[in-house]
Structure 1
Amino acid sequence: LIEKKAYVLVTTHHGVLKNYGFTHPSCVNASVAFDSTSLSPTYKILMGVPGESHAINIARKSGLPESIVEQAERYMAGGDADVSALIKALTEKLDGLSEKEKELEKKERLTHEAVKKADLKALRIRQQELQLKDAQIKESNRFLSDSRKMLENLVREIREAELTKATTKKVKDSIAALEAGLEDEKRRQDEKKEILAKDLDAQEKAADKSKSSKTKLEAKDFQKDDRVIINSTKMKGVIVSKDKKNSYLVLVGSVKMSVSKSNLSLDTREVQLGSPSIQFDAAPSSGDKPVFELRLLGMRGEEALQALEKQLELCILHAVSSFSIIHGKGDGILQNLVHEFLKNYPGIRSFDFAPPEDGGTGKTYVTL
């Protein structure tokens, strides 16, 4: 069968075949994990590890006479017992590796989040530096223009008048005023730099304080069909189900997204009952094409999400691997809504803010 390159699934209790699976390059062992406490399978596939026989334990638990069980143990005291011990050791090592793999994934995720926060902070600093430089250039141009006018007037007066003590004094006073103006301009620029540094530090402390207060906030448990408000975006939705331990699947318009419990609050406003409305969301037609720059400015939250969802579907249909979203800066509501949606949408490889010269935090690059 191996020579014919056939694909075969074989189940066996023979240790010789398990050993063959280890030593032959065309074969691979696999088994279903077994809970030795409850003596029942966990239905989890373990690749590379052959199954261990639990016949003795099951027989003893099932009430088989102890004399028969002991006799069977004596029969297995040879090679089968060695294979069983080897399999048990391999299973324990696999469990240990799985735990380490989970720890590494968690550390990698935390590192990625820390890097992303650092990149965002650096981006904001670059944006404010560009704004400061632009303001400095304008003020410097104004100062140079005023100084040039003053010098031109001074030169004209010198040419027109005789060089007297009064004229010489006036020239010296003008030069002293120009030097004082230069010192004042330098002092103003230093003050602005200091204000920028303090502002960035205050923003960082405010963000840490906001995060700390959110983690301390105990959110209530929500039930299916509860009407809720997403605190970060002020969008309203309906609880579909509990997604994970501390998050819920929320339906916002026609879009489902996973939202953390601490980011949800119950919508206590009375719901006005009226005639039910039915809405059909048409799938993108073959004539529609994705855009390379999706503009969401001026749209309401639900409308923006629908436009973004359609764009993503069109990108998948037309094999477009990247595009950009213009959501603006403002108070950040639309920006947060877009990022929350992208974080939970399958098929998104990455998304990041644009560099300052291309829109900064008002624009997001998306890679599928």
Structure 2
Amino acid sequence: MNPKILKTLEFEKIKQQLTEYTVTALGQEEVQKLSPVTDQEVLTNWLSETEDGATLLRIRGGIPVPKLENIGPHMKRIEMGADLNGLELAQVGRVLQTTAEVIRFFDDIKDAEIDLKRLFYWADQMETVPALSQRIRESVEPDGRLTDEASPELKNIRVQTRRTEQTIREQLDGLVRGKNAKYLSDALVTMRNDRYVLPVKSEYRSVFGGVVHDQSSSGQTLFVEPKQVVELNNKLRQLQISERQEVERILAEISAEIEPHRYEIIQNAYVLGKLDFINAKAQFGKSYKGVIPKISEEKHVELKQARHPLIDPDVVVANDIFIGEEYQAILVTGPNTGGKTITLKTLGLLQLMAQAGLPITAGEDSQVAIFNNIFADIGDEQSIEQNLSTFSSHMTNIVDIIAEVDQDSLVLFDELGAGTDPQEGAALAISILDEVGAKGAYVMATTHYPELKVYGYNRVGTINASMEFNVDSLRPTYKLLIGVPGRSNAFEISKRLGLDGHIIESAKQMIDGDSQDLNDMIADLESHRKMAETEYLEVRHHVDEASRLHADLENAYGYFFEAQEKELDEAKAKANEIIREAQEKAETIITDLREKQKALGKNGMVKEHELIAARTGLNQLKHEESHLKKNKVLQKAKEQKKLKAGDDVKVESYGQRGTLLKQLSNGDWQVQLGILKMVLPESDLTLLKPEKVAPQKPISTMKRSSEHVQSQLDLRGMRYEDALESVDRYLDAALLAGYSQVTIVHGKGTGVLREAITTFLKKHRSVKSFELAPQSQGGTGATIAYFK
């Protein structure tokens, strides 16, 4: 991409705004080196990263990357054998600590099964160094000062230092508050040359003895180290030297521990910078209400409701800009200050942003092409230094563009052919458009020349467009109208401003008929466009109403079936209750008969009328629905639904087709289901139309499981023996359910359970193969098994 276009379309301003959202030094470097790319694979990855960043920003508030300094120079010094200071070690430790936090963050994202396209790749590039991270965290404060826990020797030195300082202060405080206070210029203890001293009046310098370290500018005060604390100050000084030596030793020791891990640390810092940059892109897109554009393989640019990102969002006007599918050149006409140049820049800048992997300020489902180069001739490029006129400077730029343009280029011309004689300028503009069009480039150009309106109407692959102007308010609306050329509004504006009618009529007679006819044609097109827009809005209203009615119908349909299922469940429950009561009454009658038989003895018999009464009681348990018996339609439907041996049925619990073999005494059916014979209740069977199926040899008979079989088994938290038993039962159930593969989630942990599952699957007779799940489905925490 030529660097001139980045300056012309103000791409650097976009980068400046993007930099404001970065928090790391390496993230800022990523922004600074950002430039549009032409490689589709690279661009696809960039846009996927931006989309992932937007997803995490929406659901988790973004990636937790804090402010980090550039530790590259530190690692360079480590490589050269130099030692880092405390602040530099703290910055390295901050990178290591952040690395661990970010890795935990992405592990949580994986556990939550949040789908990301690219960021898991970057997370896998980082590596923790826990021992080194802990050593730095325990030894170095964030400001670079070593903690007392950095070493036992350092802690002991600092304890002695604090005690010695306290003793010195106690002795000096005694001198300040005692009878000698009158010899002092001020009742305080201060320091000179890292030694504790007292401010003594110059005439009493001999009262305290000791050593004079300094005097005031007036000479009235001497800073004296009393002889009572000279030895203590000497001891304190020695302790300070020992502390400094111990600190240097510790810094050298930690620096040496960093050296073997410098490549991992550099990689971690680089990835954190990348993640910060991705975070910034997502936050930038959110603040500008941007979208991630799609990439068109056919080079169809469709920018829906496109807005220029550098214009105040409260005043910017959104426009639809389409180019590439039906036409490869757009000629925009209209009055000055109508928004033509901004429309050009919007197309060019959004295309640059998209090819840099950034969100664009456009509506959903917008798509962009990939151009190898974007050229623009925009604005007044008159050069005082080169003594070039406006026309000459534009023409020089256009000559360079024509020399480099090809079929993978987008060209933006602002006021093409302006700055010279109108007739010659129009002719040049047409020739330039023909030349660029012949090379297959996409073109968007603005112009005032009426000849180009006719050109746009007659040329294949070229379309007219204009910026709308409100004649009533005498103000532009900044709306782009594709398909309608702009027309001169001078006569209408003059009339509204009060110019005499005869002057306007005289002017109309002076212009040639073709120009007047062209303006009339444009006015007619605008009228038809407004009519079409009105009809579109009306149709859109009816479509919305139909969509709303369709949604209501779907909801009602769903409510109907929900109510139907509820009624069926209640009917089944009521039927079961009736059956239960009937069984209880039958048991009572049978028990009563048995008691009577026992009372009569072996030779006694129950009387006939008692048997008749018992039989009558049993018959009364049956409730006939006479009105249903008389309904021939229902009886016929009932007969059609009656099951018999040889019928094809659907087993609802498994969703598979089977054949009835025979009915058992308890009402259940023996069903041939594939290679299996199964005993199933009639309620689980639905009659199907017969289908010719090759007979298969049955090999076993099993009863169905009462539970629905899931395609994934979660063993996390289970004991070793329970887990293996669950896997054994689950594989049998999955085979019956007809699954070709299942997922077994065992977690990462120590890896013991994963090894046990692997061993078990190797020996299972029905398992063809197995493998660890991909990263998006659990990675090493899950295994996918494939059945034979």
Give the shorter-chain TM-score range.
0.3 to 0.5
TM-score, normalised on structure 2?
Answer: 0.21
